[in-house]
Every structure is written in structure tokens, then in C-alpha cells.
Amino acid sequence: MAETDTQEDLQAAPPQIPGIPAPPQLDMSWAKVPTARPPKPKIGAEGFTLRLADAGEYAYAPDHWPYENDTPRGSYPAKDRGLPAPYTIYDKAEVWAENSADLYELAIREQWKPATQISWSTIEPLAGHIEAAIDQIVSNISEQQYNSNAVMMGRLKDISYGYHEVKLYLATQAFDQARHVEAFRKRALANGGGLGVESPGFFNRAVYASFKFTELVVYTNIIRTSFLLALCEMGDRIGRSQADRQLFENTANDLRRHLSYGIEHLKHYLLTGDEQKRRNVRAWLDRGEIMLAADMRRDKPLREAFILALGDTVERGKASLRELRQAQLRKLLRTLELATFPGHEPYVNASLRDIIDNP
Amino acid sequence: MTTSPDILEQLRREPGGEDLDLSWLDQPLAERGLRVAPGKRGLTLEDIATSSYGDIPSSTDNNTGRLRGAAPRTDAQRSQMLWGSKSASWSASAMLLYEEAVQRQWSSATDVPWAEMPELPEELELAMSQLCTFLTQVEFIAGDVPGKYAPNISGEFFEIGLFLASQIMDEARHLDVFRKRALANGIGLLQAGPGAIGLLTAQDFTEMASTLHLVGEGFVQSLFRMGEMFAQSEVDKRMFRLAAQDESRHVAFGVMHMKYVVETQPERREEIHTYLDRMEGQLGAGSAQAGLTGGGQTGEALAILLGGGTSETQLREGYMKLLAIRKRQVNEYMHRLEVVGLGDRRQKIAPMMLALLDPARN
């Protein structure tokens, strides 16, 4: 921890320095601005949470945020606000999720530390092809999360300050994803193996190329997270050690929050617009599914790694891979239902349907 | 570690094995055989930056999503957004600072003793709420700015991306904790200012490190480290101590990035001086909030807190201490410049800062 200086260190400071203007007269106009006086919080078992702090008028996030700089919500805006910021998102419908503040606090409570909270020493040497298969799978997860993380971090600068809960939540998501990149890379290098082959990158490209924030959420928090969560929930069939199981379980726990933000955001987006918004979501899902299927179809190392890791024979591995793919699609469809976008199954892109049925 | 030809043959002969390619097992293109064991600090990024996985290239044509050390594929999708030069973003301290950040995460909800918040005289509570309005306004700009560059960080230098994520997490907590502090004791948020949007104008990572890390966060770090002087309770002291600890990492990251750039690209020295010229111009005491803790409403709030009230005597004492803080900020800034290799800044520094600067130690 950084050392903190004491008052005594600075007692001898000179009262005036040539070249430095004299202090102004007492003004305190800032103390008279008509902002709301919040109630005194009653601190509960979860501490002083954001939801508790943002009480009364401070809780109100308007549908449109009018200030083009970093004015905090609930403060008294300056007359001279300087440069209008490069933010592009001023409408609540574009980013809002009702659970953002709660997910933010939950994410902080549930943060885990890959360096010290994974039982790395429980990993035992494995047959070469099994270790390589696990390494290929974890390399792929590490790469996916680096892509989601990088692009999401890049979008924070687009979100205006009226929706600070969302910015805060997304910071936790980016930090979760960073830890996933790190943790799965460590797993690949911990047991006599190494990293596997990169992905074809079609889905990564779609994430980079997303035009709209909600489109990005559909790719990362809805499609990718549904598929990855279903995979992590089968992690006990892939992993061979306590460390492996911890990795998948901890990651799954994080991903449930990411999915929860995605569901609530998509719900808010859909409920605050007309039929065109549903058509937008349909288009984003179609594009995401095509790109996902392109990756799955071309990624022979990953396909074969799943077959080897999931079964003690090739046939059983193939059956388990089909089971995994079906679980992934079910997770996506359930996610969409929860986001008030039911009935997607007949519209699942044919290329994705094909690779799910014939993995 | 490779897979024996016998195993491969056996897999291909199994029922269902006829369509297996297995070339990725037969002839792996990424280095294998690493068995990295955890050390005293667990299994860290530095531990796994070993063998070929620790070779950080000075330049790369890796334009895909491939992370350093993974095997490439010829059909991978490319992005021209990714920077190929190590010097564009590298900081030798990134791995260490990232791991430290992960270990030292704290919760604004539970690690600050909010229940022990004392009632303060109204003028002091108003001043603390005003200071925290300023801090909650500017802190997440230090999240937005590094985030802007995250999509440019190639997988060859992924540790930089991870560190930036930890900084963004820290800044989120700072926005949050100072907002909570303003809302904790009955006053609420007060007067916002022009803020720190100007930092988002950075067009280059090194420009960002100069303006955000070396100047902006450096000045805030100095302020937080002296939080004992103006904190009015254990709640406030704890808040500033925890925030100072985070800011130290951000400043250290920026310092080490700039040191690397100055050492490997000395032709950029004058360019870096221009970024500092600009920032020092914005740091004048006449500016309300771009003065970073020195002038306007933030300065007045600090003076009230430092002097313990608004009487003439208290204000005089408060401004005297504020001047001492400013002096500490400027001298710590110069120290960072010397570490970076820009000690010649002493001859170029803005006049108002020069007035606060101690003589060079020879």
C-alpha cells in the first residue's frame, strides 16, 4: 500500500511563493447549488451499495441524457462545460439494464484471483493428447475473452455519464474477461503443454465490426456468453483436476452476470421501441450465428480437441460434442426468451443449425 | 510434449475416427512441454512469460486475434486496428502491476467503514461533498481514455490489455466511492465543473501516458497520498488511502511505458514535451477543475478542509497547506519525469510550476 504523508511533513511549507497568485476571497457559491439532499443511508449486510447510495432523485436515470461532458448525474451542471465530449450514446435505451448497479456490486463481491485461488498444484500429468486437447480448448477461451474484453473496453468512451451504473458494470465485465484471458492461458502452460491453434476469427471479426452497442451486446453477452457458459457448465467433463473444475466454475459464475446484463439490456432495448428493434435483433442474431458457424465449421483443432477431451473413445467424444452443441444452442434460445425475444428456434441460421446437428 | 504416432494412428482407426485430421497434434506449431509451477505469489503472468511465450517481439505482423505463442492459421481473419510495434504501448511493469491489481481489489461497499461516519460541521461536509463531486466527475475519464486504446492492443502484447482492464476497474471503483461519499452524509453532489474531457483528445498511446498517467493521475495520486491532511474522519482517510494505492499502479504503468519509449525512440522526446506543455498550461491555478485540485471550487473546498473551516484564519491556513500540496504535486511530477529520462523538463516547465519546484539535487 502506498505510504500516506502526514500533516506534520508539510507544516513548514512557506505561506507564499513568488509567482503564485494569492488565494481568492471566499466564494462558496458551489455550496448553494440546488441539488437534492439525499437521505442518510442505513448500511446493510452488503455494505453501502450503489443502489443504496443512489437514493431518491439520484436513482433517476433519464431516457435522454442532456449533458455532453462528464457531469455526474445529480450534480449541478457547470455553465461552462468546456469541450463537448466524444460520447455518442445519450439515450438510455441504447445501454440500460435495470440490474446494472446490482451486478456491479455482485461482481466486486465475487471477484476471484487466478494466481492464488486456483489449486494449480492439483493438476496431474495427463496423456499427451488429452493435455493437448484441454490446452486447445482453454486457448480458445482465452482468445475469445481477449476479443470481447478489448472491444467492450473500447466502447466505454461512447457511453455518456448519465448512465454511470452501466459504465461501472461494464468495467467489472472487462476485468472479469481479463482474468479469464489470464487464467485459461495459465492453465495451458501449467501442465506440460502449451497454447493451441488460434481460431479462424470470424466471430472475433463480427465483434470488432459491430456498429451499435446493442449489436455488440448481442454478439458478446448473448451469443458468445451463452455458448461459453454452456461449455463451462460441462467443464467437469473436460477438466481432469480440481484446478480445472475451479476454472470452469468460477468462469461460469462470472458469465452468468454477463448473461444477466445482456438479457436485461436486450429486454430494455426491445421494450422501448417498435417492431424495427425486433428486426434489428433478428439481423444481429443472424449475422452472429453465421460467423459462429463459420468458426465452428473451420476450426478442426477445436472440434477434435472437444472430441478427445469429452470422450474416452472417438465415438463417445463425438456424441458428447453433439450434446455440448445442443446445450449451447438451448442456452442461447433460453437467453433470448428471458430477454423477451421468444420463438427464435425456427429462425436459427441454417449454417449454425447444421453445425449443431453435425458437429 | 508431443503425441506419439501410435496414439494418433489408434485414434484414426477407432470407429468414427476416419474424419479426424489431428495434424495440430501430430505437428504442433506452438511450443509445448511447459510445466510452470506456482511460486510464492501463486501462478503469475511473469511465471508464464517463459521460454518462447515470454519473447515479446519488438514488432509483429500478427494482425489476427492470436495471442502470443499460439499457433497461427493461414485463413485467420485480420484487423488493421492492431498495433504491430511494441513501443506503441509496452510497459515493462504491466505484468507485475496487473497481478498486484488483482490481489488488491477492494470494495467501496464494504472496505470503507461507512457505518462509522461522524457528523461533521456543515461547512466541512459541504466542502468534502464538493471535493468528491469533482473526483467522481473526473475519475472515470481515466477509464474511458485507456479503454479507447484497448482494441488496438495486439495479442502479442496482451498483458497491456489486461493491465488496462484493471485500471478501468479501479477507476470505476473511484467514480463509485467518491459518489458514495458525497451521498453518504446528507449533502449530496454539488457543483460539477468542466471536467477532464480534454484527456479524451489523446491520439496516441504515449500521448495518453504523458497526459493521463504522468500528469493527470500523478497529480491526483499526490493528492490522495496526502489525504490524511484533509480527510475529516477514518472513513475519508480509508477512502483516500485505498484510492492512492490504485493510482500508484496507474502512474507506475505510465512511467514505465514512457521510459521505454524515451529509451527506444529518443527521437520522440520533443513530441512528448509538447504533450506536457499542453497539460502544464491546463494546470494553472486560474482554471476551475482542469487545475486538478488547485483552483476554483475544488481549491476552495480543499482549503476549507485543510484549514478546518471558513474563518479567515482557517482559510489562510488552508490555502497555505494547499500550496504545500501543490508543491508536493509538482515535485513528484518532476521526479517522475526524471525517472522517465525527461529531467530536462526542468528547463521547459511552465512558470507557475517552476515557482513551486525545489532546486535540482546534484
* DSSP-derived 3-state class of residue A44: strand
| Residue A28 in contact with partner chain B when CB distance is under 8 A | yes
Q: What would the DSSP string read from start to end of B317-361?
A: HHHHHHHHHHHHHHHHHHHHHHHHT-GGGGGTS-HHHHTTPPPPP
CB pair distance less than 8 Å for A35 and B141? no
- Domain chopping of chain B, boundaries: 5-35, 89-354
Contacts of A170 (CB under 8 A, 6+ apart): A152, A155, A156, A159, A261
Confidence at residue B1, expressed as pLDDT on a 0 to 100 scale: 61
Q: What is the pLDDT of residues B52-89, one digit of tens each?
A: 999 999 999 999 999 999 999 999 999 989 999 999 99
Q: What is the pLDDT of residues A297-356, one digit of tens each?
A: 999 999 999 999 999 999 999 999 999 999 999 999 999 999 999 999 999 999 999 999
d(CA A182, CA B44): 9
Contacts B244 to A, Cβ<8 Å:
2, 4
pLDDT band at A47 (very low <50, low <70, confident <90, very high): very high
Does A92 reside within a domain?
Answer: no
Q: How far is CA B253 from CA A157, A198, B203, B217, in A?
A: 21, 29, 18, 11
Q: What was the ipTM of the complex prediction?
A: 0.96
Contacts of B127 in chain A (CB under 8 A): 31
Q: How confident is the model at residue B361 (pLDDT cuts 50, 70, 90)?
A: confident
Q: What spatial distance separates the first Cα and last Cα of chain B, rounded to whole Å?
A: 56
- Residue B295: the pLDDT is 58
Q: Which residues pair with A354 in a beta bridge?
A: none
> Residue B93 has what DSSP assignment?
T
What range defines the domain where residue A154 resides? 99-104+124-357
- pLDDT of A16 > 70? The answer is no
Contact A229, A220 (CB under 8 A): no
Orientation angle between helical segments B158-184 and B122-139, nearest 10 degrees: 160
Domain membership flag for residue A239? yes
CATH topology for B89-354?
Ribonucleotide Reductase, subunit A (1.10.620)
Chain segment A85-132, per-residue pLDDT in tens: 999 999 999 999 999 999 999 999 999 999 999 999 999 999 999 999
The reply to whether A14 falls in a domain is no
Question: Rounded to an integer, what distance in angstroms lies between the CA atom of residue A178 and that of residue A158?
Answer: 20
pLDDT digits (tens, 9 = 90+) for B29-38: 999 998 899 9
Give the contacts of A306 (CB within 8 A, at least 6 positions apart). Answer: A133, A137, A238, A317, A320, A321, A324, A359
Q: Do B43 and A53 touch (CB under 8 A)?
A: no
Does some domain include residue A351? Answer: yes
What is the interface size between A and B, counted as CB pairs within 8 Å?
A: 438
Chain B CB contacts of A185 under 8 Å are 48, 67
Contacts of B79 (CB under 8 A, 6+ apart): A205, A208, B63, B64, B65
Lookup: cell for A140: 480458445
pLDDT at B4: 87
Question: Within the 114-133 window of chain A, which residues sit less than 8 Å (CB to CB) from chain B?
Answer: 114-116, 118, 120-121, 127-129, 131-132
State the pLDDT at residue A5: 42
Ramachandran area for residue A43 (φ above 0: left; ψ -120 to 50: alpha; else beta): beta
pLDDT digit string, tens, across residues B131-142: 999 999 999 999
The CA radius of gyration of chain B, in Å to the nearest whole number, is 25
Q: Is the pLDDT of residue B40 over 80?
A: yes
Q: For residue A27, what pLDDT band results from cuts at 50, 70 and 90? A: very high
Neighbours of A322 (CB within 10 A): 15
Which chain B residues are within 8 Å of A24, Cβ to Cβ?
A: 300
Residue A21 pLDDT: 75
Share of chain A above pLDDT 90, in %: 90
- What is the 8-class DSSP label of residue B310? S
CATH assignment at residue A220: 1.20.1260.10
What is the domain count for chain A? Answer: 1
CB–CB of A134/A240 below 8 Å?
Answer: yes
The nearest alpha carbon in chain B to A186 belongs to B48
B218-265 pLDDT tens trace: 999 999 999 999 999 999 999 999 999 999 999 999 999 999 999 999
Calculate the average pLDDT of chain B: 93
Identify whether the C-beta of residue A72 lies closer than 8 Å to the C-beta of residue B133.
yes
Is the pLDDT at A9 greater than 50? The verdict is: no
